[in-house]
Structure formats: C-alpha cells, structure tokens
Structure 1
C-alpha cells in the first residue's frame, strides 16, 4: 500500500505482518502497524521497541547470521539482544541481506552496500528497490516498474517492465519468482521473460522458502508451490486466515497473519 500526501504518490510501505524465529524458542514479530514484539521461551509477548523512534513503520524483519534486522521507514536497525541500534542507513528500507562479509539493503533510493568505509550506493539510486536476490552471476532487483537484472560477468543491465511494482522475489525450480503490488505471481518463462501464474481468487503477499519448499503467503491462507504436469500449481496448506509472512525453525512453520497474530504448523515430512 502506498502512502499519499497532498494527493501526491509517495513511497510504498509494506502493510504486512512479519515474523522471524530467532532461535528454536524465541519468536519476533511485527504486526502490521503495531511495532515489534518478541516472545521469549515460555513467556508472553513483550514489546520490543527499545531504541526505535516513535511512530516508525516496520516493513520487514529479517535475520542475518547472528542478529535480527528491522527494515523501517526510518532506516535500518539491528537487534543487539536488548535494544535496536541504527546502522547509519537513514533511508526507508524494505529488505536486507548479508552476502559474505557485506551487508546489502534495498531502499527507497536503490540498492546500497555497507563496507568498512560506510554505506555506498550500488544500483538504481533514483528508484525504489523493494527486494533483491544476489546470485553468483546475476543480481535481481524488484522495483516500481518491474524487475531489473544485472549480469556480473558482462557488467550489463536488462529491464523487464511489468506495468506494476514488484515487491518481492523468490526462486522455484531454478526459475525466478516475482510478487507484484497487485498480488500477482510472476515466474521466469525460460525464454528471457516472465509469465503470470494463474491463481484464481488469490492475492499473494509474499513467496517464502522454508524447509525445502516454496510457500505463498496469501489473503486466503498458506499455499505450497508444486509442479503438476509441467505447470506450476499452488497446493493449500492452511486456509481461512490472511498469511503475510512465514518462517521455519525446528520443524515448525510460523505464519504471520493480519488479524490472528502468529500461527504455527508442525511439519511432518519433507513436503509438509
């Protein structure tokens, strides 16, 4: 959903609930518009806003190798275990990933990388980047007008206009996935382009990888992607509640919902 001021089109903010399993017994969640909360082992949910400015909007919680990050409209913060500390990235942040020793952030002003000399603009400084994938040969960016691909071997960019903002990326069976602002699911067609996957009646919030499978978080519940007769299909896992994010830890799926907090599903097999 986009914020508008004075009738002008402003930056996009993710009005989704987000969840991450910090370890086997501690869950962190960001209910849409209600800050960040943490559930310690055998305890109740506690507010987890120490160090964050009042009134900020959380777009996403993400995990690094040894810490959690909060992507917000007031910048990027990391969790020390007792409080949030700024990373000196003040731009609206949508996604963060650690790649080797480097930290990359998708922001309202492009893709940035934190080095020993501070944050440096890496790509698309005049456009918002909502998500990215960093592959050995390619870098994929989810942007306002579609998807951009950077070839690291030839140092060239290729644009894939979609006519709408692409807010999330994923991979299924070695094919790139894109989730649009309109709730559509895109998939690479192996011909240098993308096709829309037919999912009648489903609004997709996010594509998430967990426990060896790729799941779709949708307004009708959680679905798992599969392939039937060579076609990508969505199989229902849990219906009834809008699911906007997913994480897995210790054989359990944690689902962030819009109205019923964090729900769990016990996995019973490799394809559960």
Structure 2
C-alpha cells in the first residue's frame, strides 16, 4: 500500500464499530482498523472510481461515487441499486440519494425520482418546516405546510448546505459561499485566495473545508468569519470523535486534530 500522503482523499467516515473509512479521487477506499493501521478496502468497486461521499446509515456504510451507489457488506462493496453518478445519501424519514438525475428515494429497495430529475442534486437538509436541496442551479426548498416547491437561483451550482445561527448557508461551485439574509434572499461571501469545498456540522458548530485548511464558521458583529483551526493544507472532509477530529486532506494524508471539540 502507498503512503497515506500519496492518496488524494475526498471523504471520511467512521463506523459504529470504530473503524474509519476514507475515500479518494480515483484511488479507492482505505480502512483504518482499531489498532490504527490502514488497509485498502476497495473490493467490489469499479477501477479508478472517484468517491464523492462516504456515509454511515445505522450500521451500514455507503459509498456515493461517480459510478453509482455502493454498500459495504462483509468487507466487500456491492451495488445499492443506483448506477448513475451519486453524490450523497441521507436517511431522513426515507432514504434519499442525491444524484445526477435529481433527488431520489428508496421505495422497498427500488430507487424512484422524488424531485428535480433533470438537474444534478448535491446535498440535502431537512428542518421541521422545510426540506432544502442543493442543485446545479441553486437551492430548492419544499414547504411542508403548503406542500409546494420553490427555488433560489444562483450562477453556480450549490454543492453543500448547512444551517448556521438559524440561517441557511451554502457553498458554490466557484468556492464562494452564500448565506441567508433573513429578508427572503441570500448574500454571497467570498474569501480571497480561498476555495471552500464543503461544510460539516457538529454539535451546533459549522466547519468549512477549503484549499487553505479547516475553519470554524463564526459570526463577529453580524459578519461571517472563518476561524482557523490550525490545519494549513487542502482539507476535503472530517469526521468527529469524542475528543478529536480525523481530517481528510488532498496531499497530507489523514490528520488528527487533538484540540478539544466543543
């Protein structure tokens, strides 16, 4: 196996058994055992496939890839019934998949279109009143009280969304961010020299993974600020433990941040 720093990591997740899985851009999936050693765990995956997102759902681990959706079973990956590019999967009342053909849901193992079948769907967020999806054309939302869809259009695809201080925030495909202005619209926020890849949430905090490192999103005098967490390399994803984070990077392997996570 290559050195960890030779892998271009794209995503990371932990299992309920304590294993850690890390996906890559075209180099398969690695697994960290309980003793901290890493092994290749790519059996059953197409060769050179890009792993967009690893996701734990209950006791199962899923891999959303450019060649479809896969599920880990007995240390081997098998198709989960979707053979189109899949970017993310979540379990929220139903099992939803974000794909090149819109938002889909699983009906007794069969995947069915749910919304926006002619657009790529990248992320999903459910609140008590709304369902938000990140699309190639903007952010769409479903109002559960009225049963209707509406949409905010942007010039770039929205690839990641989260809620920060009761406002919806998103990452655009050009590396900038949008944040709800609480007046029915959004403002765009860009940071010079920084390309934000995705957002991650933990215990009410929101973190930004970027080409310049890992940052915690904070608000200072009504301005959105990125607070550095001391990781100064390209960060693509992170997974949280009780006292630390494991951080997936593009060229520095998997890092462990021992700072207290609150």
TM above 0.5, one fold? yes
| Superposition deviation, residue 130 in structure 1 | 1.0
**In 1: Cα distance, 2:167 partner to 2:52 partner:** 26
**In 1: Cα distance, 2:204 partner to 2:184 partner:** 26
- Are the counterparts in 2 of residues 226 and 235 from structure 1 also a CA contact under 8 Å? yes
CA deviations on 1:176-219 (whole Å, 9 max, x unpaired) are 11101110111111111111124232210111112442111011
Residue 180, structure 1, aligned to residue 152, structure 2: no
**In 2: Cα distance, 1:166 partner to 1:228 partner:** 25
Residue 243, structure 1, aligned to residue 235, structure 2: yes
Instruction: Quote the residue 1:42 is aligned against.
Output: 35
Instruction: Quote the residue 1:165 is aligned against.
Output: 157
Instruction: Quote the residue 1:4 is aligned against.
Output: none
- Tell me the TM-score normalised to structure 2 length: 0.92
| Superposition deviation, residue 63 in structure 1 | 1.4
- 1:18-57 to structure 2, matched below 5 A, reads 18-23=11-16, 25-57=18-50
Moved over 4 A (4+): none
Q: State the SS of the aligned residue for 1:98.
A: strand
Instruction: Quote the residue 2:72 is aligned against.
Output: 79
- Are the counterparts in 2 of residues 76 and 90 from structure 1 also a CA contact under 8 Å? yes
**In 1: Cα distance, 2:231 partner to 2:261 partner:** 19
Instruction: Quote the residue 1:124 is aligned against.
Output: 116
- 1:187-206 to structure 2, matched below 5 A, reads 187-206=179-198
Q: State the SS of the aligned residue for 1:268.
A: coil
Instruction: Quote the residue 1:3 is aligned against.
Output: none
**In 2: Cα distance, 1:61 partner to 1:129 partner:** 16
1:98 maps to which of 78, 91, 99: 91
CA deviations on 1:212-243 (whole Å, 9 max, x unpaired) are 42111011111101111122211111232110
| Superposition deviation, residue 157 in structure 1 | 1.6
Residue 147, structure 1, aligned to residue 134, structure 2: no
Q: How many positions carry a matched residue from both structures?
A: 255
2:219 maps to which of 211, 220, 227: 227
**In 2: Cα distance, 1:232 partner to 1:207 partner:** 14
- Tell me the TM-score normalised to structure 1 length: 0.88
CA RMSD of aligned residues (A): 1.7
**In 2: Cα distance, 1:24 partner to 1:267 partner:** 23
Residue 65, structure 1, aligned to residue 58, structure 2: yes
CA deviations on 1:124-182 (whole Å, 9 max, x unpaired) are 01111011112222111111111111112212221211101111111111111110111
Structure 2 unmatched ranges of 5 or more: 1-7
CA separation of 1:198 and 1:127: change in aligned 2, threshold 3 A = closer
Structure 1 unmatched ranges of 5 or more: 1-14
**In 1: Cα distance, 2:226 partner to 2:46 partner:** 40
